[in-house]
Amino acid sequence: MAEFLQFLFSGLTIGAIYALVALGFTLIYNASDVINFAQGEFVMIGGMVTFFAVAAGVPLPLAVLLAVTIAVLVGLCLYGFAIRPARNATAVTLIIITIGASIFLRGVAAIVFDKNFHSYPGFAGTAPLQIGGASVLPQSLVVLIGCGAIVLALWLLMSKTLVGKAIIATAANKAAAQLVGVNTGWIIALSFAASAAIGAIGGILATPITLTNYDVGTLLALKGFAAAMLGGMGNPLGAVAGGLIVGLLESFGAGYLSSAYKDAIAFVVILAVLFVMPQGLFGRASVERV
């Protein structure tokens, strides 16, 4: 039982990070139909900026604010300088652009920062808590609470505010949204900014557990993308569920089956789900018109 709980907690923690990355994918995809493979770089920026700001003597809350601000600026630049000039390009072309952007950002990070692994102490102390025989880092709870807060805030934004309605309208039909007076360009920019902020917060929360370096974004982008597809692309709740499922699969797979093949287990399940449900777990079937 203690073992089971241990795997459950570590799976939920890493799953929450994947969920935030998947949520970032979903926000940008809904607003602009772009699969942003530079999503993992926002996570990297969050962790790296916080570490170097703290190391330079900046108080932690200010460092966090700085990291999120920089990530948002990078997200806006990504939209303004790389995605917006290429609008109307095909989906694959846009994917290549975001991959180019991720290579570029990794290159910048390697020079501005360095190529070493970094970490800082958890926000709620470092002594492990004992829960049902499993030892849990306090930071794991911080990650879970942080992830929950972001999902709640996003849900409130989407369902209770006019901006949220405009985002949903843009996702549903861009031309129709423009017709009723939604500034879709502004909404897409906002989606990039929000997506960057969510990624950065994920990185800030996760770094005490997972460490960070300039190259950490590649694998996160892969897992986040897979999680978003598992949930059904474009569905925010599906993205969160997909992220948690991938995290749990990895953790239980590594614990009970084989740690060498932990990534394999997650992808075998994703393939199996897609074969049975080609639109993901929570996606809607689309109809092709001729």
Partner 1 sequence: MPALLRNYGIVAAIAVLIAVLPLILPSTFYLRIAALVFIFSIAVLGLNLLMGFAGQVSLGHAGFFGIGAYAVAIGPTHLGIPSWVALIAGVTLAGLLAFVVGRPILRLKGHYLAVATLGMGLLIAMVFTNEARWTGGPDGMPVPRLQLFDWTARGSITWYWISGVTLVIASLIAVNLIASPTGRALRAIHDSEVASKVLGIDVARYKLLAFVLSAIYAALAGAYLALFDGLVTPATAGFLRSIEFVTMAVLGGLGSILGSIVGAAILTVLPQVLTVFHDYEHIALGLIMIVFMIFLRAGTVPSLAALFSRKSS
CA atoms within 13 A on the CB side of 228: 26
The type of residue at 57 is G
Cβ-based neighbours of 118, under 8 Å, separated by 6 or more: 47, 48, 51, 52, 207, 211, 212, 213
Based on CB atoms, which residue is closest to partner 1, 127 or 260? 260
Least Å distance, CB 223 to partner 1, is 10
Return d(Cα 105, Cα 255) in angstroms, integer: 34
Based on CB atoms, which residue is closest to partner 1, 93 or 161? 93
Q: Which residues bind partner 1 (CB under 8 A)?
A: 35, 81-82, 85-86, 89-93, 96-97, 99-108, 110-111, 218, 222, 225-226, 229, 233, 260-261, 263-264, 267-268, 270-271, 274-275, 278-280, 288-290
Based on CB atoms, which residue is closest to partner 1, 89 or 131? 89
Least Å distance, CB 39 to partner 1, is 14
Based on CB atoms, which residue is closest to partner 1, 1 or 290? 290
Based on CB atoms, which residue is closest to partner 1, 96 or 211? 96
Least Å distance, CB 112 to partner 1, is 11
Least Å distance, CB 84 to partner 1, is 10
What are the backbone angles phi and psi of residue 289, rounded to the nearest 5°? Answer: -95, 150
Least Å distance, CB 179 to partner 1, is 26
List own/partner pairs for 152-156 with CB under 8 A and 24 or more apart.
154/23, 154/194, 154/198, 154/236, 155/236
Least Å distance, CB 234 to partner 1, is 10
Based on CB atoms, which residue is closest to partner 1, 99 or 168? 99
